C-alpha cells in the first residue's frame, strides 16, 4: 500500500461518499474502473459531497480510487497526487478532469462531475441518459424526486 494511504480509511471515506444524503446543491462525480472487463473493469459508482471543496479534498487525498488502488502502481499514484495538489475549488473544471483522465487512462476514469442539480435538469448526454433510465423520460426532475433518484444513483454502474 502507498505510504500515506491506509486502505481501511480509504474504504470508510469512499463508502461514506456513496451514502451521503443528497441535495440539489450536492457535488459529486461518477468514476469507473478503466481496466479490462476480465480484470473487473467497467464497474463504477457515484461519490457525493456537501460542497465542491469536499470533492476536491477527497480527490487530492485519494487520486486513485478504491477499485483501482490495489492494481495501480505507486508511481502513478504520486503523479496523480502531484497533479491534483495544485487544484483548487475554483480551478476544478472539465479541463482538469480531462487531464486527470489522461493521466489515469487504463486505471480509473471520471465520466461525470458536478452538482446533483446538473443531473436533475442538465442537458448533457450523461444527465439525460440517467433520467431516461430512471423515469423513461429525459425531462428534468423536480427536487421532490431527489430521495428516489439518489437511491437509483447509488445502484448505478455496479
pLDDT at 43 over 90: no
pLDDT tens-digit profile of 134-149? 999 999 999 999 999 9
Query: Residue ranges per domain, the chain?
Result: 7-155
Burial zone of 111 (CB within 10 Å; 0-12 exposed, 13-18 middle, 19+ buried): middle
**Tens of pLDDT along 62-103?**
777 644 555 546 788 888 999 999 999 999 999 999 999 999
Range list of β-strands (E), 50-151: 108-115
- 96 half-sphere exposure, CB direction, 13 A CA radius: 19
User: Taking all residues of the chain, what is their mean pLDDT, rounded to a whole number?
Assistant: 86
- Over residues 104-134, the pLDDT tens digits come to 888 889 999 999 999 999 999 999 999 999 9
Quote the DSSP letter at residue 150.
H
Task: Say what percent of the chain tops pLDDT 90.
Answer: 59
Amino acid at each position: 500500500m502507498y505510504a500515506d494511504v491506509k486502505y481501511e480509511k480509504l474504504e470508510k471515506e469512499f463508502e461514506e461518499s456513496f451514502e451521503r444524503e443528497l441535495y440539489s446543491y450536492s457535488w459529486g462525480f461518477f468514476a469507473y474502473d478503466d481496466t479490462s472487463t476480465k480484470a473487473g473493469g467497467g464497474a463504477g459508482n457515484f461519490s457525493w459531497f456537501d460542497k465542491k471543496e469536499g470533492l476536491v479534498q477527497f480527490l487530492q487525498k485519494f487520486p486513485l480510487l478504491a477499485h483501482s488502488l490495489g492494481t495501480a502502481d505507486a508511481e502513478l499514484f504520486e503523479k496523480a497526487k502531484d497533479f491534483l495538489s495544485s487544484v483548487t475549488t475554483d480551478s476544478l473544471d472539465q479541463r482538469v478532469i480531462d487531464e486527470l483522465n489522461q493521466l489515469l487512462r487504463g486505471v480509473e476514469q471520471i465520466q461525470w462531475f458536478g452538482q446533483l442539480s446538473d443531473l436533475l435538469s442538465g442537458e448533457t448526454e450523461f444527465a439525460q441518459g440517467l433520467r431516461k433510465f430512471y423515469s423513461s423520460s429525459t425531462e428534468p426532475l423536480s427536487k421532490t424526486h431527489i430521495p428516489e433518484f439518489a437511491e437509483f444513483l447509488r445502484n448505478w454502474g455496479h
